[in-house]
Amino acid sequence: MIDLICPFCATLSKADFSCPRAGPVIRRGGTEFVCGSDDAHARCRLFFEACKAAALPAFGLEDDLTQMPQSTLIKIQFGSLLGLRRITAGAPDPAAQIENIDALLNAALVKFGSLEAIPCASLIDDISQYRLPRRRGRQVD
């Protein structure tokens, strides 16, 4: 089960993104999401890894967990899905939500024919331009 942790966990933690295959699992560090399908998980993992490989050079980073900021991985998760929706739909969608990640990837497979054919390099602007929400300051009583 630990092997099926969704590569888009950060997006699922935000109420605007969802996937019918993902189920929350509560752990000490917080909530993670586990995929209910081996095939869907493998597809999402391959897409995420391809997007990460395309985007990291744009950030001037290497795939090194000790050096890469967590915020970069989060930008890749959000930006790649929003960009995929843009290139799959053929027009930008101003809504910053994706109701079904699994259906989005299925639509991309229909349009492009395979995961390898999805032009991840064309998603780099979506990834780099995604803005993480600002953290709220702590209230001092």
| pLDDT level of residue 135 (50, 70, 90 thresholds) | low
Q: Does the structure show a pLDDT above 60 at 137?
A: no
Average pLDDT over residues 96-100: 87
Among candidate residues 63, 73, 62, 86, the one with its CA nearest the CA of residue 8: 73
Q: For 11-31, what is each residue's pLDDT tens digit?
A: 998 878 999 999 999 888 788
Listed by start position, the domains of the chain span 2-129
Give the integer Cα–Cα distance in Å for 4 and 91: 32
Structure tokens at 23: 């189920």
Mode of pairing for the β-strands spanning 22-27 and 30-35: antiparallel
